[in-house]
Structure 1
Amino acid sequence: MQRCIRCSSASRPPVTIDVGHLQAGWYSRRPVWWACPLAGLFGIVTALRRRLYRTGRLQQVRLPVPVIVVGNVSVGGTGKTPLTIALALALQAAGHRPGVVSRGYGGSQQTPALLGPGADPSRYGDEPCLIRDNGIEVAVGRDRPAAAWLLLAMGCDVILADDGLQHYRLARDIEICVIDGVRRFGNGWLLPAGPLREPARRALAADFRVCNGGSPQAGEWLMKLQGDQALRLGAQDECRPLSSWRGQTVHAVAGIGHPPRFFQMLRNQGMTVIEHAFADHHHFVADDFGFADDLPILMTAKDAVKCRGLVGADSWLVPVRADLEPAFFQQLLQRLSSPTAGRAP
């Protein structure tokens, strides 16, 4: 979905910034020329901020339990949330009680809060609600350390920080950087000239690098997002294989960081896909589904938490799971058992 931003002042006419054109340059050889000076300024601010935390000029908060950060150096659509869910379930299977702390992007909740079953995504954000729907304790808040303390009060013994790689105020014991295996780091430029929040070399400092699809490079763990079933919205005990729509035409709805990945997954199942791509964290309304036919609607699980009551009976969510080698989880648990993990200051 292409978006435009209009900037104006009293002294000059409005200037329209084509965000779609800007983002198209992120994954081409040449960035938009006027964004390059801004990228240089962004890099200076980013490097200074990280240096202030590294030297102790800005204070970090260390928790008395291990903290695992899951994040990326590029914006949008690398698969952080499915990986966070997979990590939490693996920790539960190993006897831990993990909790996930999130900023709650897209929600209205400002103060730290715990999510209950059936939490409202308009209040807490779509990704935290999706994680909570998987039976995982979640807390949101701008003050992530304060939100993490709510999880500790619930008895959590490991904290997972979703999309927390650049949130240096929360001290971490293990860093996991997720990389898009197809798009990688785009043109290699920082925002807004490119897709990077930090230089690509920052990924090398992480304890684990997870490559979502594509061909992993040296030192990276391959992650595959698998989805072969669909659940009917409002009746999630009703399950149907994606292959049952082979040869049929469907509406595909995705308001995620990289919608083409979802559309291609459906095409790989033999469907003819009518694409409906929305901005990441889009707030859906009934008019978004005003299609002039009765074709089935398939959407991502992240979108489905916001769409109950907005769509008809022939609407389905497609959950995905993150599959990694068992050795990845074994090494993670070994790191977690280190005597220094979660050590209070």
Structure 2
Amino acid sequence: MQAPRFWYRPPGLAARLLSPLGLIYAGATARRLARGVRFDPGVPVICVGNLTAGGTGKTPTVIALVERLRDRGVTAHVLTRGHGGTAEGPLRVDERRHGAAETGDEALLLSAFAPTWVAKDRAEGARAAVAAGAGALILDDGFQDPALAVSLGIVVADAERGFGNEFCIPAGPLREPVATGLRRADLLLTVGAVEAQDRFTAWTDPTPPRIRAALEPLQTGMDWRDTPYFAFAGIGAPEKFFATLRGLGARLVHSEALSDHQPLTQALLTRLANDARAHGAQLVTTEKDAVRLPPAWRQQVVTLPVRLVFTEAAALDAALDRLFPA
């Protein structure tokens, strides 16, 4: 499902009517976080999470952290619940053997960059990863999960959309109140263009140190201006993908926003391909959507990969220095 539009507008009637349910949701999150003893796997755990439902850039952040740790000589394994997949785990993802229906699209994508484990039980997944040689664990989307002792908690926020109307689900996008979540965070990473970053600064004063980054297309040498494109995306914020394509000079004859993690069925792909053909256009999608494509379709759809580029990361490097001293 796509996020309701009123989540990212000033609070109106819908948000206020639903706000009692939001209080119940926030209370359930608080109770879940308060119970149990967190398991310490014996290696540093870096949690990449968010306070809102939907896409904020967590997956590119995990990839960027994997590469940053690799530069320090640290072998990080990624631990995820495999959203959208059927595997219970612990399962080490092998892109040659597993599909998105089993592991979820994010896990399959991440496995190309680092050893990645799907585990509904995060403690069991951590044990398996450490036994397999993990020098650090990167916990993907576990900020509201009390299973593991976290060494460094990073909250990722979309600099453009911020925390929306600051109501909790279903009245707004929040999984927990902003102040409550930021008190637990060690760093706040805001992702977006400079203009959005400046606006974000103007209206919030986060408790944790703030780092900044932007999502930038991977340079492949492709000239996006030569061909009309029919774009589709089933991610948390598909409009950002479409805007990135336009920024590269691509002419979009149509942009189709699918639900987050929506299965790419034969019927759906056939319809998209027929519509693209009618416009004389080439199909294009995101890297995360591409891993859900059936093998027969992979040569028919162009992929635009993006990477997270840090523009202000001194606080992150200082935190990593403390966790992994030279």
Task: Classify the TM-score, shorter chain.
Answer: 0.7 to 0.9
Give secondary structure in 2 for the equivalent of 1:211. Answer: strand
- Give 1:329 shift: 4.6
Q: Paired residues, what number? A: 303
Q: How do residues 230-241 of structure 1 correspond to structure 2 at under 5 angstroms?
A: 240-241=221-222
C-alpha deviations, 1:260-314, integer Å up to 9, x for none? 0100001111222211111111110122232331411111100001114353744
- 1:322 to 2:308 alignment: yes
Identify if the C-alpha distance between structure 1 residues 159 and 278 changes in structure 2 by more than 3 Å, giving closer, same or farther: same
Residue in structure 1 matching 2:255, options 262, 275, 284: 275
Q: Secondary structure of the equivalent of 1:69?
A: strand
Give the superposition deviation at 1:328.
Answer: 4.8
Partner SS state of residue 4, structure 2? helix
TM-superposed deviation, 1:90: 1.1
Q: How does 1:1-345 map to 2 (within 5 A)?
A: 23-31=4-12, 32=14, 33-50=16-33, 52-53=34-35, 58-118=36-96, 119-134=98-113, 136-201=114-179, 202-213=181-192, 214-215=196-197, 217=201, 219-229=209-219, 240-241=221-222, 244-246=223-225, 248-273=227-252, 274-289=254-269, 290=271, 291-292=274-275, 293=277, 294-311=280-297, 313-324=299-310, 325=312, 327-337=314-324
Question: Residue type of the partner of 2:128?
Answer: L
Amino acid across the alignment from 1:330 = D
Can you give the 5+ residue segments of structure 1 that lack an aligned partner in the other structure?
4-19, 230-238, 339-345
**1:3-22 deviations in whole A, cap 9, x for unaligned?**
6xxxxxxxxxxxxxxxx6x7
- Mean CA deviation greater in 310-319 or 219-228: 310-319
Q: Is the 8 A contact 1:72 1:203 kept in 2?
A: no
Amino acid at match of 1:334: D
Which blocks of at least 5 consecutive residues in structure 2 are unaligned?
none
Moved over 6 A (4+): none
TM-score by length of 2: 0.87
Describe the shift of the 1:312–1:105 C-alpha distance in structure 2 as closer, same or farther (beyond 3 A): closer
More strand per residue: 1 or 2? 1
* 8 Å contact from structure 2 (residues 49, 154) kept in 1: yes
TM-score by length of 1: 0.82
Structure 1 residue identity aligned to 2:22: A
User: Matched residue of 2:144: which SS?
Assistant: coil
Q: Contact 2:283–2:300 at 8 Å: present in 1 too? A: yes
Structure 1 counterpart SS, 2:231: strand
Residues 310, 259 of structure 1: alpha-carbon distance in 2 compared, 3 angstrom cutoff: farther
The one-letter code sitting in structure 1 at the alignment partner of 2:293 is C
For the residue of structure 2 that corresponds to 1:250, the secondary structure is strand
Q: Identify, as 1 or 2, the structure richer in helix.
A: 2
Distance (Å, rounded) in 1 between the aligned partners of 2:28 and 2:299? 49
CA contact (8 A) 1:188 1:200 kept: yes
CA offsets per residue over residues 230-288 of structure 1, 9 Å max, x none?
xxxxxxxxx552xx122642111111001001000011112222111111111101222
Q: Is the Cα–Cα contact under 8 Å of residues 215 and 306 in structure 2 kept in the other structure? A: yes
Q: Distance in 2 between matches of 1:189 and 1:247?
A: 44
Larger displacement relative to structure 2 (213-222 or 254-263): 213-222
Deviations 1:100-138 (A, max 9, x none): 00000000001311112433111011001100012x001
Shift of 1:91: 0.7
Identity %: 32
Is 314-323 or 190-199 further displaced after alignment?
314-323
Indicate if the aligned counterparts of 1:117 and 1:133 stay in contact, CA closer than 8 A. Answer: yes
Distance 1:181 1:310 in 2: 37
CA contact 2:46–2:154 (8 Å) conserved in 1: yes
RMSD: 2.0
